Amino acid sequence: MKKYVIIVLFFISFYSYAQEYSPIKERILSEWAEKVTPENVWQEYPRPQMVRDQWQNLNGLWEYAVTSNRAAKPDEWQKNILVPFAIETPLSGVGRRIKSDEVIWYRRNFELNPDEAERQLLNFEGVDYKCMVWVNGEFAGSHVGGNLPFSFDVTNLVKNGQNEVRLRVIDGTDDPDLYQLRGKQKRNNRGIWYTPSSGIWAPVWIESVPGTYIKSVNVLADMHGELKAEAVVGGLGRKTNLKVTVLDNGEIVEQKRGIENDVLLSVKNVKLWSPSSPFLYDLKIELLDEDGSVLDQVSSYAGFRSVGKECDEDGNWQFTLNGEKIFHFGPLDQGWWPGSFLLPPSDEAIVWEMDYLKKAGFNMIRKHKKVEPRRYYYHADRMGFLIWQDQTSGGSGGREWPKWKKLRALSDDYSTKNKNWWKSESDALDADWPDWAHELYLSELQTMIDVLYNHPSVVVWTTFNERWGQHRSMEVGDFVKDYDPSRLLNIASGGNFFEVGDIADEHNYPNPKYPLEIPLYDNYIKVVGEFGGHGWPVEGHLWDTTTNNWGYGGLPETKEEYINRYENTARLLGKLKDKGISAGVYTQTTDVEGELNGLITYDRKVVKIPAQKLYEIHEEAGLLE
């Protein structure tokens, strides 16, 4: 009898737990989203460039509340929201829009048995936008900025046994007074704008570190085999130095101990990283005390490569990688998913999408107006993609464009119709941002560079796009070139060009074009930063059948016409390549909400053009390296 009671109680408990979470099923979902559960959600280590063994995943079911922004605390808590998915997303289990005068609260308990000799770091990979954090009722810290990871040292707040973490989050999205860096998010999501993604939207975790520990480490490895590592040390103020060991398939190829917390070493007969051969060395990075004892150790990796440019025999500047010219060709990638918006539903989903792009012959991805979780760049590193990384855009309402005429040419006569695009520094216009908003912009820009610095895949920084929130362009450009001279700078993708950086970038839909006759760009790498955007609707795989779904140039009548349009734009890009253009970015990887111009449907269930067919088109157009 006792046996049957236990079984009944088990099933009652299981049924009750299952009822606590269910995704919103009114929208389309990817196959990976359909497999997500509270038990399997985002289990991978979030920071592949600096790995430690002692960590605890805090993803899963949390309690939540939505209150007025005047409320000091919630009157009651709701069950449940699935972290790390934003509250508006179907996978959160909530699917609720946040009003401008509302805030989101989060709460969960977790077990911890901290060692008194260690420190505890509470890590958030992404919380949009302003948050305050408490641990066991004590204030842990606050953070502003919705796009990048941050952490708090909670050593003095945690205890042995049950602990509670609580958050209060404000997300103004496109509130005109906030100058919030929000990318493609907009409350009135239509056209090129998408549903807001508020609150916790990326993994949450806690790690144990030694009393004196490696807080961060910058690694730069070049084509000559030289590797430079610089560590920032946290915790107790002890005298330390860094030791770096480089390994190839477990075999030590070089090892060196620095005088202080930096190391410069050289690897002989180095294997270089490139899209065609994305070789990565493993790194063991140790923090030593004066006696040589190991205080802390992290695992990492490095790809040896050098990013540059050179002028060809026809006077055109070209991208180089490891001293060789390389044509950058890839999709504009919004990085949005129907079940989870900013966050991919799983690690597997990232890999599947990149595998498709790789098989199609693309060697580059332009990551558009958002920063991905760090595992995305890890996969780009190991699979061999060149990443153009946009800074997340923002401004005071709308696009916050400087007040001047439309960018694009109205005909093929660029010299008369597109003058605003090619104006020089003295003529181009900046929006007027207050000092505090500009400082926030620079802070997020610098943090983005810091977070992604070690990834060999990241080769271009793009600071502004189609003049959205473009301001103090020369100052921003000079800052980026000075702060990270190892990469190239695209100051303004799609227009409002300023004479700073390395790239002059034109957008044209649907067919790629470029004003080659304008001498102002002769000292810059010429690229078509956006083109294409051919749309094709697939019934049963649309985000919203009631809205104005669209593609550039209008929607074709047949699937054959759709493919023919793609073939034509590929041929046109190939002709521009022959004339000195050094890159082309096709819009885009997938459909997103009302945009039907993806090579894949929004739910990733239908590939509109198979990878092998794309490869053949690209090869015939002369676009493959």
Spatial contact of 225 and 240, defined as CB atoms under 8 Å apart: no
* Relative orientation angle of helices 347-359 and 374-383, to the nearest 10 degrees: 30
Residues 92-117 pLDDT 10s: 999 999 998 999 999 999 999 999 99
CA–CA distance, 480 with 503 (Å, rounded to integer): 13
Mean per-residue pLDDT for 483-503? 96
pTM of the model: 0.94
Residues 224-280 pLDDT 10s: 999 999 999 999 888 999 999 999 999 999 999 998 999 999 999 999 999 999 999
Dihedrals φ, ψ of 95, to 5°?
Answer: 65, 40
CA–CA distance, 208 with 150 (Å, rounded to integer): 16
Contacts 24+ apart (CB under 8 A), 554-558: 555/596
Alpha-helix runs per DSSP H in 29-187: 31-34
Question: At a CB cut-off of 8 Å and minimum separation 6, what does 291 contact?
Answer: none
Give the pLDDT band (50/70/90) at residue 1: very low
Closest CA to 188 of 178, 176, 177, 199: 176
Report pLDDT for 130.
Answer: 96
Report pLDDT for 3.
Answer: 42
Report pLDDT for 237.
Answer: 83
Mean per-residue pLDDT for 157-171? 97
Amino acid at 41: V
Beta strands in 211-315, from DSSP E residues, in sequence order: 212-221, 226-235, 241-248, 251-257, 262-266, 273-274, 277-278, 281-288, 294-302, 307-311
Mean per-residue pLDDT for 426-448? 90
Any idea which of 10-24, 209-223, 536-550, 588-602 has the lowest mean pLDDT?
Answer: 10-24
Residue 426 has pLDDT above 90, yes or no: no
Residue 416 has pLDDT above 50, yes or no: no
Q: How far is CA 447 from CA 233, 433, 451, in A?
A: 17, 20, 6
Residue 15 has pLDDT above 80, yes or no: no
Report pLDDT for 25.
Answer: 86
Report pLDDT for 35.
Answer: 97
Residue 410 has pLDDT above 80, yes or no: no
Residues 535-551 pLDDT 10s: 999 999 999 988 889 99
Give the pLDDT band (50/70/90) at residue 427: low
Closest CA to 511 of 599, 610, 411, 601: 411
Report pLDDT for 412.
Answer: 38
Q: What is the mean pLDDT of the chain?
A: 92
Question: At a CB cut-off of 8 Å and minimum separation 6, what does 45 contact?
Answer: 51, 55
Report pLDDT for 417.
Answer: 37
Give the pLDDT band (50/70/90) at residue 483: very high
Report pLDDT for 458.
Answer: 98
Q: For every residue of 370-392, which 3-state class applies, written as one string? A: CCCCHHHHHHHHHHCCEEEEECC
Give the pLDDT band (50/70/90) at residue 486: very high
Report pLDDT for 97.
Answer: 94
Pairing of β 324-325 and β 525-532: unpaired
| Cis peptide, bond prior to residue 377, ω within 30 of zero | no
Residues listed for the chain? 625
